[in-house]
Amino acid sequence: MLFRSLILKSAALPPIKKFVKGSRLFRPIVKRFIAGETLAEAMKTAEGLADQGFLVSLDLLGENVATAEEAEQSTQNYLDVINQIGASPHKAAINISIKLTALGLDQGLDLAETNYRKLLEAAKPHNIFIRADMEGSPYTQVTIDLVRKVRADYPNTGTVLQSYLYRTDSDLDILMADKCRLRIVKGAYLEPESIAHPEKTTVDKQYVEHAKKLLTRGYYPAIASHDEHIINQLKEFAEQRGISRNGYEWQMLFGIRRDLQAKLHDEGYNVRVYLPFGDAWYPYFTRRLAERPANLLFITRSLIQK
């Protein structure tokens, strides 16, 4: 956890941000883990993955817009994404992840809800699922409340829970009772010890327990991890309980552990690749580095391996 705090605090410094975004040194790394800056580039990558039998979640990077006008533009950009997916022969394999702060949550709950519903309405005829990503803890309750509210009209949406938060046990029970589609992650934001487990070993243990609950009681859950030890634990758990490999999916980030993604796919599991794109890549990139020290190793190895 000290490593994560150091990375996130350092990344927030303007000189560090300027250096990383402007340095040629980081361009190959960014290119490896960001599927281009345009929708056309992202769709080309998404359809290539779908051709290989993978599922995809497109994520147009950008969060915490500053004005209502920016929120409207972000919403329009996502409508363009929906239209492109709807026209694709691979649309059944591609869904979308959004951040509610990109739709105007900081400018007002009503604005975010209006824009969220616009996207869900546009996605509905194409049967496109839209997942509201979980952001930092100030947004946890409002995200859960809004997802639960709109799901009454649009069941083609769900959200994400973060195992390092103390509250997740309760949130998990509530949302599973709603039959809400959930992705479980460990959590990548810098949170105080008053609301989040500070020890990595505790977070890992919590993550495994939450994933097991989802596997046994969830509605087509998404288990998001690159930790092969944890993945093997959960595979064994699911096999022992006769849980169908089609009853859930593994989710992994574009460019990280491609070998493990391919292995799971070859074993007959559903594997969805989380595919970020756009020019607002810096916050996403720094969170990925901060999640766990092993991600630095994944990045280094990925630069020299195909």
Q: Which of 20-29, 64-73, 97-106, 150-159 has the lowest mean pLDDT?
A: 20-29
- Separation CA 5–CA 290 (nearest Å): 7
The average pLDDT across 255-281 equals: 92
Q: What pLDDT was estimated at residue 151?
A: 98
Give catalytic status of residue 117 as yes or no.
no
With a cut of 50, say whether residue 306 has pLDDT above it.
no
With a cut of 60, say whether residue 111 has pLDDT above it.
yes
Catalytic residue (choose from 59, 106, 133, 171): 133
Smallest CA-to-CA distance from 51 within 249, 283, 273, 225 is with: 273
With a cut of 90, say whether residue 23 has pLDDT above it.
no
| pLDDT tens string 289-300 | 665 555 555 555
Q: Are 37 and 279 in contact (CB under 8 A)?
A: yes
Give catalytic status of residue 133 as yes or no.
yes
With a cut of 70, say whether residue 288 has pLDDT above it.
no
Q: Which class is 2-304 in CATH?
A: alpha beta
**Strand 130-132 versus strand 222-224 pairing type:** unpaired
With a cut of 60, say whether residue 71 has pLDDT above it.
yes
- Tell me which amino acid residue 28 is: P
Degrees to nearest 5, angle at CA 222 with 221 and 226: 145
Domain boundaries, given as residue ranges, for the chain: 2-304
The burial class, CB within 10 Å (0-12 / 13-18 / 19+), for 152 is exposed
Q: What pLDDT was estimated at residue 122?
A: 98
pTM of the model: 0.85
Catalytic residue (choose from 151, 181, 183, 288): 183
Q: What is the rounded (10 degree) CA torsion for 78, 83, 85, 91?
A: 130
